């Protein structure tokens, strides 16, 4: 897996606020994010903030971006978290469906990708 190969090349991994983390903990967290369809951060990057993110995929199903919200902890009550998580996931899913969901659009992108690859191969032969 590409993520594992990248992490193998890094001697020391520093997480949020300089905390040392290991490859196994990162892989476990990524697995949980994939399973849940969202990521949470409680003050990991900015103290006193909460963030919720959901992946945005490209037409090949690779994560290329994320959609999320962030704000002060006092605006993220435990009672509201399930609704906020649901809305962020829904936004990510809607974006994916609108941009990559149509079969016709995927077909066009596949043809463009094929043409680009064909052009690149011919450049290297010259």
pLDDT tens per residue across span 79-116: 999 999 999 998 887 877 776 655 666 666 677 777 77
Q: Supply the pTM of this predicted model.
A: 0.65
Q: Do 28 and 44 fall into the same domain? A: no
- Separation between Cα atoms, residue 106 and residue 119, nearest integer Å: 20
- Tell me how many domains the chain contains: 2
- In terms of domains, do 25 and 70 share one? no
Phi, psi of 45 (to 5 degrees): -100, -50
Rounded Cα gap, residues 34 and 72, in angstroms: 25
45 and 102 housed in the same domain:
yes
How sure is the predictor about 9, in pLDDT bands with cuts at 50, 70 and 90? low
The CATH number of whichever domain residue 41 belongs to comes to 3.30.450.40
Give me the mean pLDDT over the 10-14 stretch. Answer: 61
**For position 17, what pLDDT does the model report?**
61
How many angstroms separate the CA atoms of 89 and 47, rounded? 24
Domain limits at 11?
A: 1-35
Yes or no: say if 16 and 45 are a contact pair by the CB < 8 Å rule: yes
52 lies in the same domain as 26: no
Residues 74 and 55 both lie in one domain: yes
């Amino acid at each position: 897996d590409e993520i594992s190969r990248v992490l193998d090349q890094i001697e020391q991994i520093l997480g949020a606020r300089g905390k040392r983390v290991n490859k196994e903990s990162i892989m476990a967290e990524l697995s949980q994010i994939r399973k849940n369809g969202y990521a949470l951060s409680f003050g990991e990057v900015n103290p006193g903030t909460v963030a919720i993110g959901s992946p945005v995929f490209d037409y090949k199903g690779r994560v290329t971006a994320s959609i999320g919200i962030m704000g002060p902890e006092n605006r993220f009550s435990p009672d509201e978290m399930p609704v906020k998580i649901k809305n962020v996931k829904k936004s990510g899913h809607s974006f994916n469906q609108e941009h990559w969901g149509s079969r016709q659009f995927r077909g066009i992108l596949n043809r463009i990708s094929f043409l680009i690859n064909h052009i690149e191969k011919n450049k290297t032969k010259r």
